[in-house]
A = this chain, B = another copy of it.
């Protein structure tokens, strides 16, 4: 084996570690619920040893590359944001190297910032997934979606992140489902948990929410329909959560994309969430190209690692 690279996607809640060959092929992977919020100050190197100590011993000089919130003020090493437009090269130029106790180098990738009509926006970790999604999909231009608690919609041109916007879709969905009046109309099981609808019912409820969001762009106004449709028995209680999800994801997609004509859009998400975005995108005239978050992260980290090594070789 021609040497190793250790690649880490270290976020707020989780740490994902990948062992790559020097050609960027992933040969092993570990995940731990050891996000930066679970690491005490000064404890990052110890946390790393806890998760991949055997790998590190096994390859004592192999470099480490890290992306995600580990590079934030609350993380291990604060790396300033790279301003968009930014591609692999610009991001690497802003990366911060740190020598660890054992003498090996750790390279912390930056997040990306942009200004949209004078208002800043930021991402940290998603840029690596975006770079990975481009490598996996073969696309170099067009929109890329990374849905989640704070969904990112990123416009890519020539493999570079040109601009992007954050939508608080996932966080708002959880708040409205769990804490608002809207949750009171949702069907519950014996333990009080929200019932999961059969998949066809869930999809129908979701798509109805998407259609409503497309018909009326005022989210503050459409939200209340998740209450009244239930009150008037026009939507089964078991489908209200899916309808609400459709209202929110529909509002996000409508704001992010004009009506489309079949263009495939990389969607970086778990299978269940990617399905929802695929349904919403289909109603908008697009097809989704689902890519798992893990696959996108490792592919992106590999791209950075290989490019970084090539830069070193060239010097």
Q: Which A residues fall within an 8 A CB radius of B?
A: 117, 119-122, 150, 165-169, 171-172, 175-176, 179-181, 212, 215-225, 228-229, 231-232, 234, 248, 251-252, 254-255
Contacts and interface: CB of A to CB of B under 8 A. Distances in A.
Nearest to A225: B119
Contacts of A229: 119-120
Contacts of A217: 217-218, 255
**Which of A168, A180, A181 gathers the greatest number of chain B CB atoms within 10 Å?**
A168
A161 B218 CA distance: 21
A52 B219 CA distance: 42
A252 B220 contact: yes
Nearest to A215: B117
A168 B216 CA distance: 15
A292 B117 CA distance: 38
Nearest to A171: B180
A284 to B, nearest CB: 14
Contacts of A165: 221, 224
Contacts of A225: 119-121
B221 A167 contact: yes
A120 to B, nearest CB: 4
Contacts of A218: 167, 217, 251, 254-255
Nearest to A180: B171
B167 A175 contact: no
A169 B165 CA distance: 23
B150 A224 contact: yes
Contacts of A150: 181, 224
A217 to B, nearest CB: 6
Nearest to A167: B220
A207 to B, nearest CB: 15
